[in-house]
Structure 1
Amino acid sequence: MDVVKGSDGQNVKRPDKRAERSRRTREKIVAAARDLFVAQGYGATSLQEVADRAGVAVQTVYFVFRNKRALFKDVVDTSIAGDTEPIATMDRDWFRAACAEPTAAGQLRAHLRGVRDILGRVAPIMPLIAAAAATDPEIAAQWPADPDPRYTVQHAAAEALISKPDVRPGIDTARAADLLYGLLSPELYLLFVHNRGWSPEAWEEWARAALTTALCADREAHQGLVNSRT
C-alpha cells in the first residue's frame, strides 16, 4: 500500500490498486475454472478455455498459477474457504466463535452452520476431485489421506466440545471427533441433499439433532450438572 500525507499531515495508507486488480483477476480465473471443471471435468478442460471464460489472456493464467494442477488446487481450496484469503479453517472467525460457545449444544449449532456453508461449496466438486486424483497422481498427492485435514478440523472441534458442561458423560475427544467426522462428511451430505433432494437447511437440522443426541447430555442431566456446580 502507498503512504501519502492526509489533510491533517498524518501518514495515510492508500489502497494498492495493482494488488486489488491482481486479486480480482485471480478470483475471476478461479471462478471460471470451477465452472468449467464441474461442467466438463478436469481432464477435458484446457487453460485456454479457462482464460476465455475469465476474460483474460492465457498467459495470465500461466503467470498466476503456473499450471492446471495448481489452478485445480486453488479451486478446491477456495471452495473450502469460501474466499481467496490464505486462512486455515481452524483460524477462521466462525470456527473460533463456535469453539468459544459456552455449551456443547451451542457449539454444535454454530459449528453446523459453518460446516453447512462449506459442504454446500465442496460437496458438488467431490466427484471431480476423485476423478482428477484417479488420473493424476500429483493431484492425489496434494491432499494426503494421512493425516486427513478434515479429520484434523473435526478433532479440534471435538477437543473444545468435550470441555463443555453439557457434554454427554463418557464421551471423549476421539469418539466426538469420529462422530463429527462421519456425520459431517461430504459423502453423507451429497447422499441427502443431492441424491435424496433434501434442502441444506433440512440436512443441517438433522445433523445437529443427531449430533446433539449423541454428544450432549439430556436436559434433565444437564440441569442437574449445572445445579451441582452452583
Structure 2
Amino acid sequence: MTASATVPARADGRALRAAASRARIAAAATTLFVEEGYAGTPITAVARAAGVGVQTVYYSYPTKADLLVGCLDLAVDGADRRDGGVDLAEQPWVRAVAAEPDPVRRLFLHARGSADLMGRAGAVLDLVRVGAAGEPVLAAAAERDEARRRAVHRVLVEASARDGVLRAALDVGQALDLVTLVLGPETWNALVRRGTWSGLAWARWAHRTLLADLAPSRFDPDA
C-alpha cells in the first residue's frame, strides 16, 4: 500500500474521532445546561463532564452558543450537523406518517413521533428560544428548527388535504399553523417537563385535539 493510499484512512479516522468528541461534548453539555441552566454552566464544567480539555471544547464549538446549537443538533438529528446523522425529514417516524393510508392512524403516528422528538429536544429548544433574544447564532438555530419541524408537519397536513379529511374552513397554511402549535415545544414543556403528563398522554391529547380541529365535523357549518 502506498503512502498516498493511507491518507484517506487517516483522515477518516480523524473525522470519526472528532465526531465522537463533538457528540460526547454535546451530550455532556445538554445534561448540564438542562440541570444547571445555560448561563450557569461554565465551559470548564462541560469539559470535565465530557472528559476532555477546555481547548477541545472550544475547538469543537468556538462559542457557548455554538455548543448549545450542537446540543440541539444532537437531540434532533442524533449528531452534529457537520457529522451527518438522520435528518428530521428522513427519520423513520416521518416516513411512516407519509406511508400510512388511514388518516386517523396517520395523525396518531405523527403525534407519537413528535412526542419522541420533543422528549429528546424539548428542553434544549426551551434554552435555545430563551437565549435567541440576545444571540444571533441561537436566533438562527431557532428559526431553522421551526422551519424544519413545519416542513415535517406539512407532510401530515398535505396528506390530510389530499385525502379530503381536512376541514373545509381551513387552508393548508392555517392547518399547518395549528399542527405546529399543538405539537410544539411550548405545549410539551408546559404539560410534560413542567407539568405531570407523560409523553404518551401528551401524544394522545395532541391526537384528540388535532382530530377535533382539523377533521370535518357535522357540527361545523363550513365542513
TM-score, normalised via structure 1 length: 0.75
Corresponding residue for residue 28 of structure 2: 32
**1: distance between equivalents of 2:178 and 2:135?**
31
Contact 2:66 2:137 in 1 (8 A): no
Q: What residue ranges of structure 1 are gaps of 5+ in the alignment?
A: 1-12, 219-230
Contact 2:28 2:49 in 1 (8 A): yes
Q: Does 1:152 align with 2:148?
A: no
**2: distance between equivalents of 1:182 and 1:71?**
27
The farther-off stretch of 120-129 and 196-205 is 120-129
SS at match of 1:189: helix
Contact 2:108 2:204 in 1 (8 A): no
The farther-off stretch of 187-196 and 81-90 is 81-90
SS at match of 2:210: helix
Corresponding residue for residue 42 of structure 1: 38
Structure 1 residue runs of 4 or more that deviate by more than 6 Å after TM superposition: none
Q: CA RMSD in A?
A: 2.9
SS at match of 2:133: helix
The 3 A distance-change label for structure 1 pair 95 and 161 is same
**2: distance between equivalents of 1:38 and 1:32?**
10
1:75 corresponds, among 71, 86, 93, to: 71
**2: distance between equivalents of 1:91 and 1:17?**
26
Which letter does structure 1 place at the counterpart of 2:47?
A: A
Which letter does structure 1 place at the counterpart of 2:35?
A: A
**2: distance between equivalents of 1:174 and 1:135?**
29
2:59 corresponds, among 55, 59, 63, to: 63
TM-score, normalised via structure 2 length: 0.77
SS at match of 1:66: coil
Which letter does structure 2 place at the counterpart of 1:131?
A: V
Shift in Å, 1:202: 0.9
**Residue by residue, what CA displacement relative to the aligned partner does 1:39-58 show, whole Å, maximum 9, x if unpaired?**
23223323222111100122
**2: distance between equivalents of 1:99 and 1:44?**
42
Contact 2:157 2:172 in 1 (8 A): yes
Which letter does structure 2 place at the counterpart of 1:110?
A: L
Between Structure 1 and Structure 2, the one with more helix by share is 2
The 3 A distance-change label for structure 1 pair 115 and 147 is closer
